[in-house]
Structure 1
Amino acid sequence: MKVSIGYEVVDGPWGGGNAFVKAMTSWLRERGHLVVNNLQDNDIDIIMIIDPRSHLPGYTYSAFEVMRYQTKINPKVVVVHRINECDERKNTKWMNFWLRAANYVSDHTLFIADWLRDLKIWHPNDGRPSDTVFNGGDTTVFYPRSNSKRQFGSSLRLVTHHWGGNWMKGFDVYQKIDQMLDDPEWRNRIDFTYIGNLPHGFEFKNVQVRPPLSGNRLGEALCEYDGYITASICEPGGMHHVEAGLSGLPLLYRNSGALPEYCQGYGQIFNGVDDFEVALTNYLENWEQHKAAMNAYPWTLDRMCKGYMEVIERLYSQREQIARKRHTFRNPLYLLAVAFLHVFARMYDFRRNILGGV
């Protein structure tokens, strides 16, 4: 098969979407499939939209260009839309609109969590099916190292890591930990390190901060710690807790978004700032049991890629039926939305590339 994924991989620490494309591309190519990141060939079998914001760095085509390809160049192509974002994640007001518009041109929708699917930021009512395939991490990069053994009697070393510095990544709780560390009692029981970018103007007093890391450097760094916390609000799936879980770190996770789907059974849940100290106390008391459970943490890269491949192969076998059932012009309002966002993206690119700013 020839698969087009609408993103050009960036080297270095660049978020979960970049990690997904890099992993999926390698996995497909290792199994003999052709992978491109454009729509220049007329024999593409599968188009995968992974983000509708074609004006952002790395993204190589818009939903409008996908629609044009499937109507004018190759009507048998199957369009898969992977949804891993939402407005709820960062308290924005426009992301779901972008997603709905892109989803209009898709034949099949893939979600990274059931929580995200249930938000209804897609089009289930016009007959298009969907699947949920959980994210997975690379076990050749994220696995327990020899330096992951906790020394008896030492304070428990907590860590988290985020590429984005949005406040909703959990900084209300991370700030709470910073304040707790003013208390000598907590300072003797835990320490906390944040790896990644901080919100603009935000500083910690008692928390160690390290720059963003990726790949083997991140895998090695995570194993310097004993436990992992994620306080992200409305997290649609993410990779940070997966990478930590595969590295053998028991998870202290917020009851929000898709985190319970990924973390249940592998640590301690909490609701927010108000119950965090109680949850942390329980986590410390049961750390040994949580640590033992991490050997069975299931969300691996191989499992994820097999899940995508099962869907892609099924859709490929049904491509002629899918093409016959497709009705591109069924809703003029969404057609206008798809066209409008394409024009917006091109204007944005023009201002950035020609005029030198936005």
Structure 2
Amino acid sequence: MPLGELPPPNLRKVPLLPSISILYSTQDTPFGGANQFLKALDAEFLRQGCRAATVEAADVILFNSHHEPERVLKARRRFPRAIFLHRVDGPMRLYNRPDDRRDAVVARLNDFAADATVFQSGWSRDQNRKLGWVQSGPEAVIGNAPDPSVFHPPAQRRVPGKPVRLIATSWSSHPRKGFDVYDYLDRHLDFERFGMTFIGNSPVTFSRIRQLPPLPSLELAEQLREADIFITGSQSDPCSNSLTEALHCRLPAIARNDGGHPEILGKGGLLFEDPKEIPALLERLLEDYDAYVSGIRVPSIEEIAKRYIDFAQSLIEMRGQGNLRPKRPGLLSAWRLGRRLAADG
């Protein structure tokens, strides 16, 4: 090699990042957990240099749960070489109604359009399998994280106030989002020792709990940083964005021992089976408050995005080795599935 000439770059040591496009129509107003997470994930993909400029340019197309099935089917037909990655929710039959047909939409989309699947928690994966989920490709468990520019710890160390400030949040007003718990606390909490705020949509009108409507993320995060303890009573929640947002604000929590809560909470709080346990758990948490704050361990959006990128890269490598063949449904099959999805919806 002549002097001064650089060796060619070793592309094997510096693999190109996969280009990823998220097939989901986000909303700028408060609109539920999937919307908030996918907005943050998309921004992080851009920051890490792997967000596809267009859907057409994507190596991997990520679609979400039961949302926009017609758009997913059209994209599957239009981009046969792309790898379709399905982020799965639920099972929705567990926290909604036993006859909820959205799980059937998710299963049909996964079987027809997805080349690989991401579950938001181990609990979600296991419960879907118990209800008959059939694996149709590689699977991974990857949780959620919020936008760190919005949901972050307070500037100063938190010291519980007098009264101690409790907070609960829920965009959904579904009864299984914990309203039996919040109603119990509204009637039985010692409001000389504690104050409590609920932010979101509620089917219950509280007498003593301060109630605020759904707030934009920046305002919601400020409310979380001003609180001392987060409470969630949601049931069969696969990966609660409300809980995740609170923990990212370094807010220790008391959570129902159900769904994905134990996986998310770790040592950052305490679990309950019955709302009657909460007053004693509050005292226990306050006795060793700093230890529970120090026990909060939640992955950042940077780490979550990296897990998606690594999984996407492994799928691309599998395709290159002939171990993964993107699904190529025919026009008649797509038409038949569209009719089935319309019936399920």
Q: Same fold (TM over 0.5)?
A: yes
Code of the aligned partner of 1:98: V
What's 1:298 paired with? Answer: 298
Q: CA deviation at 1:307?
A: 0.9
CA, structure 1 residues 305+178, in 2 after alignment: closer, same or farther (shift >3 Å)?
A: same
What's 1:98 paired with? Answer: 105
CA, structure 1 residues 226+148, in 2 after alignment: closer, same or farther (shift >3 Å)?
A: farther
Match 1:262 to one of 245, 261, 264: 264
Code of the aligned partner of 1:165: S
Match 2:152 to one of 143, 147, 155: 143
Code of the aligned partner of 1:32: G
Percent of aligned pairs with the same amino acid: 25
How far apart in 2 are the matches of 1:63 and 1:122? 23
How far apart in 2 are the matches of 1:146 and 1:4? 35
- Contact 1:242-1:299 within 8 A present in 2 as well: no
CA, structure 1 residues 151+19, in 2 after alignment: closer, same or farther (shift >3 Å)?
A: closer
> 1:49 aligned to 2:29?
no
RMSD (CA atoms): 2.7
Secondary structure in structure 1 of the residue aligned to 2:219: helix
What's 1:6 paired with? Answer: 23
How far apart in 1 are the matches of 2:107 and 2:336? 9
How far apart in 1 are the matches of 2:226 and 2:335? 52
> 1:165 aligned to 2:173?
yes
> 1:21 aligned to 2:44?
no
Unaligned runs of 5+ in 1: 56-60, 349-358
Match 2:218 to one of 189, 206, 216: 216
What's 1:307 paired with? Answer: 307
What's 2:123 paired with? Answer: 115
What's 1:75 paired with? Answer: 80
- 1:231-265 alpha-carbon deviations (Å, 9 max, x no partner): 11011102111111111111101100000000021
Code of the aligned partner of 2:210: Q
What's 1:192 paired with? Answer: 196
CA, structure 1 residues 36+232, in 2 after alignment: closer, same or farther (shift >3 Å)?
A: farther
Code of the aligned partner of 1:197: N
How far apart in 1 are the matches of 2:221 and 2:109? 34
Code of the aligned partner of 1:314: S
Secondary structure in structure 1 of the residue aligned to 2:226: coil
CA, structure 1 residues 196+112, in 2 after alignment: closer, same or farther (shift >3 Å)?
A: same
- 1:131-156 alpha-carbon deviations (Å, 9 max, x no partner): 0011112332222224763356x121
Q: CA deviation at 1:344?
A: 5.5
- 1:37-85 alpha-carbon deviations (Å, 9 max, x no partner): 8x6x3x4321211132327xxxxx444324423xxxx432111100123
CA, structure 1 residues 196+208, in 2 after alignment: closer, same or farther (shift >3 Å)?
A: same
Q: CA deviation at 1:34?
A: 4.1
How far apart in 2 are the matches of 1:243 and 1:166? 19
Secondary structure in structure 1 of the residue aligned to 2:52: strand
Aligned residues: 321
What's 1:233 paired with? Answer: 235
How far apart in 2 are the matches of 1:131 and 1:91? 27
CA, structure 1 residues 139+148, in 2 after alignment: closer, same or farther (shift >3 Å)?
A: same
How far apart in 1 are the matches of 2:132 and 2:149? 34
How far apart in 2 are the matches of 1:270 and 1:192? 18
Unaligned runs of 5+ in 2: 1-17
CA, structure 1 residues 236+324, in 2 after alignment: closer, same or farther (shift >3 Å)?
A: closer
How far apart in 1 are the matches of 2:201 and 2:157? 24
Secondary structure in structure 2 of the residue aligned to 1:234: coil
